[in-house]
């Protein structure tokens, strides 16, 4: 992990930083060939191939996993929130919220961005 990402996450409560790091591991495991970019102005860590497909957005009490084309994803567990034209997100408050359903969403989003 880059020092820049670690310093960025140090600005958040420990539980949020830890959830963000575990979510980062999940994304990179589900989409190992993707690129990772820290956008300090937007306060997100984004992931993409030819185009961006998701981003980790920490807040003080939760972390959002944002999907840029989330409205097109198959979501049988109804984890995705949002009603915009394309963006959807999953709100994660603790590490126990990370499961195989999230892996599936990341894999779908990653494939659509290649």
The predicted model scores a pTM of 0.95
Distance CA 42, CA 78 (A): 26
Question: Any idea what the CATH number is for the domain that residue 39 is in?
Answer: 3.90.1150
- Quote the number of domains for the chain: 1
* pLDDT digits 0-9 by tens, 1-23: 689 999 999 999 999 999 999 99
Closest by CA position to 65, among listed 38, 112, 27, 8? 27
Domain that holds residue 35: 3-112
Distance CA 99, CA 38 (A): 24
* pLDDT digits 0-9 by tens, 74-110: 999 999 999 989 999 999 999 999 999 999 999 999 9
Distance CA 95, CA 72 (A): 26
Give the 3-state secondary structure percentages of the chain, helix then strand then coil, rounded to 5: 40, 25, 40
């Amino acid at each position: 992990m880059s020092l820049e990402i670690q310093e960025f996450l140090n600005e958040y409560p420990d539980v949020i930083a830890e959830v963000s790091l575990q979510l980062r591991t999940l994304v990179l495991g589900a989409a190992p060939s993707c690129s990772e970019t820290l956008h300090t102005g937007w306060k997100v860590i984004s992931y993409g191939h030819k185009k961006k497909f998701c981003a980790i957005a920490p807040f003080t009490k939760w972390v959002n996993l944002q999907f840029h084309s989330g409205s097109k994803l198959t979501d049988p567990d109804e984890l995705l929130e949002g009603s915009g034209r394309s963006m959807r997100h999953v709100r994660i408050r603790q590490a126990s919220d990370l499961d195989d359903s999230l892996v599936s969403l990341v894999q779908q989003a990653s494939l659509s961005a290649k």
